Each structure stands twice: as C-alpha cells, then as structure tokens.
Structure 1
Amino acid sequence: MKKIPNISFQDVENEHNFECLNLNKFFERLPEIVDHNPTLPHRIHFFALLIVTKGTGTHQIDLIDYPLKKGTVLKLSKGQVHSFEKNAKYEGFLILFTEEFVMYHFSKSSINIISHLYNYHITSPISENENLNKLFLEQLNAELSNTTSFAQNNIVASLINLYLLRLERENKEVSIQNNSKNYPLFIAFKNLVELNYTQTRNVKDYAEKLSITTKNLNEIVKEFTLDTTKTFIDNYVILEAKRAIVSTDLSFKEIAFEIGFDELTNFTKFFKKNVQLSPKAFKNK
C-alpha cells in the first residue's frame, strides 16, 4: 500500500541538526536514496531552503509547481509535502535544519516574525533576491569551510536566522501581522488543527483547547487569514485529502477513514462542497 513517505532529518554525523547540500551532488545521489524517491511527493519533518544559483526548473510543494531560476529561494516548512522534478537542470544549494535547531538557536521574537516557519498556510514559499542569496551562501560556505568548529552551530544558526529575517522584511505586511499580540494564539490554533483534524473539525473543540470563546477564536483567525475558523479547518482537511489522493494509491474509502470520516459518502460530499469536484474527478484531473 503506497502512502506519502514521512522523511525525518539525518545528517552525516547526526549531531548538527542542520546540513548544507550542493544540489549537483544531491541530484547525483538520488538513485542511492532507498527510503523514498525525492522526485515523488514526500512529507518532511524538518525545514528546508532551496536556493537556485543557476539554470531553471520547477519544484512542487503541496501540489503546486513553483518556477525556479537564478535568485529563487523556496522555503519549505515542517509538515509540507514536496517533490523535486526529474532530471533537474538547475544548480544551487539545499539547506536543511530541524525544529530543535530553530528552538535552541532562534530567539522567540525571530520565530514570531519569520512567518513561513510555522505559518506556511497563508504565506507564499517563493522569494527572489539574488544578491541576498549570494551574500548568505558566501558567508555560510565560508563558515562551514572553517577548520575551527568552535561555536559553528551558533554561527550557522545566526546566519540562517538573519537571512530569513531579511527575506521576511521584503513582505512588510506579513511581518507587521506577526507582531500582533494574537499571533502566538493563531500559531497554537494552527498546530492544534494539524494534530487533531482527524478527530474533530468542530470550532468549539479548538476554542476550548485554547481556553477562549469561539467568537474570539474566529476573530483571531480572520485577523491572519481573512477566513473563518471553520474555513481554515476545512481547508486544511481538504489539503490533506488532496495530498493523499494525488500522492498515494489508497482507495477513497481508506483516505476518508484516515482523515476522520466514518463514511465515504460523507467524505465525498465534504470534498465536493469545498473543491467543486468529486474525489474521483479531482484525481482524474
């Protein structure tokens, strides 16, 4: 039974919680990877930055193909499903780092400002800034080439943190939003949805877990997404359903059960209401 592979972080020495991969070398290693096929959809349990320095191509994140060219950076968050194109012709670097790396080295204020770390539902993963990318890669590679390893993790983390903050500054609207006093509550709600969407899609249940009223929760979600709480929950369930339909060989009944529906008919009605297509029509499309 084919399911979306879940890929955890592993570096060579299993101690740094970050890794910088040259894409040319990474693409050469693709046939040697045994636990999954990177050119097929797979869910990552770490963060990644795909920085393109030469050539063009595409990269799929959550069923959307993003165009790549020199100066492009794609920001992938923990929990997202992505895949590399086959026979990729572009060059660059893939920066991987874990949630532990972020929590240990990034300040709380930085985490709140860098929206894409935990708020990928409402922010675009793609940016373009060739000069900023070049500066970051030069500093990062210089540090990784340093024969003195003292404080290297801290320095690398500072470089990644600074780079992400500078990328974030290009989207002032999001940065201002994330300074809202309600941002931590919104992130807590988002995390609860990701953990509990198979058990409940009831707004009241999430409000109770956060010890706030449904009205207050709705106001908070609207502040960041312009959608209602119910719409946000349903959209996440639909995203998980689409991921499963496109990227696995599970039957519709199995998918329905996995994402919290007792009956296939209820799942089909829910999917069609939100996508305007039946699961079968969506898969064929």
Structure 2
Amino acid sequence: MAKDIPHIEFDSKKPDNSGIEILTIENLAERKDETGHNPEKAHQVTFNMIVFYTAGESKHLVDFVWHPVKKNTLIHISKGQINAFQFTPELKGYIILFTEAYLKKQISTLPKNEIDRLFNAQLFSPIIQVPVDSNVETYIRLFDEEYSNSQENYNQDNTYSALHTIIFSKLERLKQYQTFHLKRSDKLNTFLSFKTLLEVHFSKSRNADFYAEKLNITYKHLNTICKETVAITAKQFIDQFLILEAKRLLINSELKSTELAYSLGFEEPTNFVKYFKKHTGFTPNQFKKTIQLDF
C-alpha cells in the first residue's frame, strides 16, 4: 500500500552512538523536507521518545488521539506507538530519543515505579504538564549542550547515562502526583503481569478466563484488579488492547483485512470485521481510508 504509515528507525548521525540522542523541535521542523519523511504525518517509532515543549502552542498525535501542547508540556512516546507533530512558527522544544536496548541497559539504575509510570501507555496519559518552577528543562538543556559538544568525547556515555537517570527520576516524581492512586502493590504487579501475558498471547485468546488461569487467580479477582487499576473490566482492557493493535497493523501492513483477522486470532474474517466495527464504528477498510485522508 502506497500510503502505509512509515516505521521510523533510530538513526543517529553521531559516530559510536550508544542508543540515545537529543535534537530540537525547531531543527526537526526545518529538516522535515530533507529526510524523506514528514514528521507531521503519522508514523510509528521503533524507539522511545520524550518531547518537551518550551514555547508555542500546538497539538501532538499519540496513538490516533491529538493532544494539545504548550510551554512546559512533556509527552512520552513508547516504542511502537503512532505519533505525529504539528509544527507552528513559535513552537520550540527538545526531543530525546533512545532505543529499547539503551533503556534495558538503564533499567538497573531506574526505580521500578519509574518504569511502570513512564512506559505503560495503557496505564497513563502520555502527557505531563511540568510545573513552571520545575528544573526539568535545566537538565534537558544541559543534556543538549553535552550531546552537542563534539569537542569532548571522554566519558560521554556516562554523562548521558547520569543525565538520563536524573531526568527520568524527576519525571517520575511529577508523574506520581498525577497517578497517586497507583502505588506499588500486589494488585498492580498482577495487572502488569496480565498486560505482559496479553502482549504475548493476544492472538491466541481474547478470553479473560484464559489470562486469569495463567495468573493462578479467579476471573472475578482479575476483574477487580482491572477495575481498581484502569477503571475497566479485564475484557474491556483486552478489547481496547486488541483494537489498538489492529489499528496499528491495519495502517502499517500490506496484509489484507482477511489475513490480518487470522493473525489476530479470529477464525473467520467476518468475525473480525464485526468485532472491529463494534468497537470503532468503522469496518477495517473504512478505518484505513479515513486515516489515510486525515494524515
């Protein structure tokens, strides 16, 4: 399909890059016509991103939802999410990009809560409105200065790692105030285990009982955990997860709807069409055409 939403790979121009990079929003806007890809068109990233807006007002697309952004808005985008900018003349800020391999290397230095809050798209909004008196911007600017300093290469990886840890720790502190109801607990641990199982087995089963059995708990208990964690039932969470996965595959794959239905675990393509329309109001083909027109 000619209009597939592109996958954007991590591609640093800096030699011996360890998997992390920073650039400005202004620079990305200026070079959008030179890269062969327009960041204002929806695209899927194969890495993680933090976008911090320091001036201007606009909106940012994350997984088919446009979010308003302004000064001190921070957006976190996880690997695999759909994303698009909307540039305006006044818009300024920074974009930190880092690979999954870099994140895994950093995990040992990051608190567990931090990983949960910043890397679970189903649990939290991708937006943080950073308080004016926060010094998050100070450390992001320092990171940009360090990264841009081509004269000093000695021990740079350790410097990047330290700044990355500081920035993430500060973001976790801000995020926890927005998600105070989600403290580290056995219930949250079970929910995260459920989510991990779903990521592996969603094409095998859409039945909540299947996941409850694998977790060695009852369906009722899994339902209670989901309601307390994300305010929906286990089945609703499964449906939301599968629909988002279907949307991503529909716009990023040359698979026909019938082939996609089988890959998602539907025995009959017509069942997938009915399921998709029930949850979105569109058939898969209608959704595909609508997205192509919009983006």
Normalised by the length of structure 1, the TM-score is 0.83
Aligned partner letter, 1:152? Q
Q: 1:31 aligns to what SS in structure 2? A: coil
Aligned counterparts, 1:120-139, within 5 A? 120-129=121-130, 130=132, 131-139=134-142
* Structure 1, gaps ≥5 residues long: none
CA contact (8 A) 1:202 1:230 kept: yes
Q: Percent identity?
A: 35
Distance 1:46 1:62, change over 3 A: same
- C-alpha distance in 1, partners of 2:280/2:259? 19
Q: Which moved more, 1:173-182 or 1:17-26?
A: 173-182
CA contact (8 A) 1:197 1:260 kept: yes
User: CA shift at 1:109, angstroms?
Assistant: 5.7
Aligned partner letter, 2:119? Y
For 1:177-212, what per-residue CA distance to the aligned partner results, in whole angstroms no more than 9, with x for missing partners? 242234344333223323332332122333444455
Q: What is the root-mean-square deviation in Å for CA atoms of aligned residues?
A: 3.1
Aligned partner letter, 2:30? E
Residue 30 of structure 2: aligned partner: 28
CA contact (8 A) 1:24 1:92 kept: yes
Aligned with 1:15 (options 8, 14, 17):
17
Distance 1:180 1:17, change over 3 A: same
- C-alpha distance in 2, partners of 1:41/1:5? 8
- C-alpha distance in 2, partners of 1:195/1:240? 12
For 1:61-98, what per-residue CA distance to the aligned partner results, in whole angstroms no more than 9, with x for missing partners? 11111122222111111221112236775121110012
Aligned counterparts, 1:99-138, within 5 A? 99-107=100-108, 110-129=111-130, 130=132, 131-138=134-141
- C-alpha distance in 2, partners of 1:84/1:187? 30
CA contact (8 A) 1:115 1:178 kept: no
Number of matched pairs: 284
For 1:6-29, what per-residue CA distance to the aligned partner results, in whole angstroms no more than 9, with x for missing partners? 333232235311000122222222
CA contact (8 A) 1:78 1:117 kept: no
Normalised by the length of structure 2, the TM-score is 0.80
Aligned with 1:238 (options 225, 243, 262):
243
CA contact (8 A) 2:59 2:86 kept: yes
